Amino acid sequence: MLGFILDCVYTSFLRYWLKWLIRHATGTCELQRVCSGYSPGATRTTKAEYALRSSKSRVLRSALEARKDNLKECVGQIMKEKDIKPEKDPQFKENLHTCLLQITGYSSLFKSVEELRKEVFSSEKVEHEAMLLKLWDLLMPTVKLESRITKQWGDIGFQGDDPKTDFRGMGMLGLINLVFFSEHYTEEARQVLSHANHPKLGYSYAIVGINLTEMAYSLMKSGALKPHFYNTALGTPELQHFHQLYCYLAYEFDKFWVAEEPESIMQFNQYREKFHNMVKADLEDPGVSLTLTVHS
Amino acid sequence: MGLLSILRKLKSTPDQEVRILLLGLDNGGKTTLLKQLASEDISHITPTQGFNIKSVQSQGFKLNVWDIGGQRKIRPYWRNYFENTDVLIYVIDSADRKRFEETGQELAELLDEEKLSGVPVLIFANKQDLLTAAPASEIAEGLNLHTIRDRMWQIQSCSAITGEGIQEGMNWVCKSVNSKKK
């Protein structure tokens, strides 16, 4: 409670007062200090985001919602508003622009992710069907699929004889992630699949993958992935960065599962929660970078 | 969800825990139903690996609902959850006619289980929001429900997505719990 009151006092009153003082003592504003005081990455971008969000000036706040091609203009307006002279602080313009690319890029990436999630897998769509068959070929190069509706789908961890009912709330996002992992990390994906097909320690490869897509999606939605993307995408994060993060989760979850040796698949949600908490703890570190590194 | 009114009805016997087992084939809608009961968001559901459990608590009542994955591979684990079940809820995808036979077989096997003997069973004829859904009466006939003599049973058409029919089904669940305790 006391902490809460102090926090309120700080953000509503003390913070402005302190900023005013430092500004007059050093001749630089908060944004300038952030942009020059930290190297590119999560710490700098997070601090810049905070400074912009809590600013009293509408010019600064609206920059957070600006479109990508308007960002240069926004930086110009901010410099005018804050009376920042390019001659005195030559790096500022570019640094703030980079921060803004990352900040606004996160929201636009989430929009693209959401669009894919809402796209329902449809057997009428040729490209959806092609992608599903591609997943099979990538994972099972030596086995031919006997027909489109077959129990064989169980071999790569779908539930029934037609995978289309398994995508559910994750839609095409789930399938695209599965294909991306198999395509860009073919060997790793097959290795994970072989662990998943272990008679005792196994799990259902595809539906656990769809479940991990849900994990990636909800981490993205809550904003928890910001530090990760601020550190790994030094500009606007793109869809492939999201798919890369999925690859990390799929690979790391498998390692975790194998190491934990759960009693049976019925314990899945319990271990998923444990893994989820580990990932969330990693994301608390400003230096976080959840990238798949393969040990050869 | 009108779960509150159900709970109010149960109020006559406070501190009562009710164990409800939710079974059925994969893609039947068990998890959606569970989340509807708990008033949670149903838009991000993925296939259930293992099981989900939710307790809905209010006014000293506790409904412990166990939602067990329906995938063929994990159906052998269903029996691990039979013990002390008060009511079995069996969920059917009314639009998936191709699997009516399979779902009927699974249900018949459940009703033969010793640990579930006498346990009231509610069959949810789910997905009635789909145009292709078979009506509850047709499903009841297909499953030969009228031959069940050793327990209370009920079939209820519903849509876990829209929430329609769930309240009626849960009313029956509570009624059957109460009459069993008497």
> Could you tell me the CATH number of the domain that includes residue B17?
3.40.50.300
Q: Among A154, A204, A213, whose Cβ lies nearest the Cβ of B49?
A: A204
pLDDT of residue B34: 95
CA nearest neighbour of A244 among A157, A192, A176, A169:
A176
pLDDT of residue B59: 44
User: β-strand B51-58 against B61-68: which pairing, if any?
Assistant: antiparallel
pLDDT of residue B181: 64
What does the alpha-carbon distance between residue A18 and residue A7 come to, in Å, rounded to a whole number?
A: 14
pLDDT of residue B57: 63
Q: What strand order describes the sheet that includes B51-58?
A: B51-58, B61-68, B17-23, B87-93, B121-126, B153-157
The SS3 call for residue B151 is coil
Do B10 and A225 form a contact (C-beta atoms < 8 A)?
no
pLDDT of residue A72: 94
What does the alpha-carbon distance between residue A158 and residue B32 come to, in Å, rounded to a whole number?
A: 19
Residues of chain B in contact with residue A214, where contact means CB-CB under 8 angstroms, are 44, 46
What does the alpha-carbon distance between residue B54 and residue B64 come to, in Å, rounded to a whole number?
A: 6
Interface predicted TM-score (ipTM) = 0.87
Residues B47-90: tens digit of each pLDDT: 999 999 999 864 455 889 999 999 999 999 999 999 999 999 99
- Residue ranges, chain A, pLDDT below 50: none
Specify the number of domains making up chain B.
1
Q: Do the annotations mark residue B30 as ligand-binding? A: yes
Pick the residue from chain A with its C-alpha nearest to B53: A269
Q: What is the pTM of this model?
A: 0.91
Q: Range of B71's domain? A: 3-181
Domain boundaries, chain A: 2-108, 119-282
Chain A contacts in chain B segment 30-59 (CB below 8 A): 42-47, 49-52
Residue B92 pLDDT more than 80? yes
Residues of chain B in contact with residue A166, where contact means CB-CB under 8 angstroms, are 27, 47
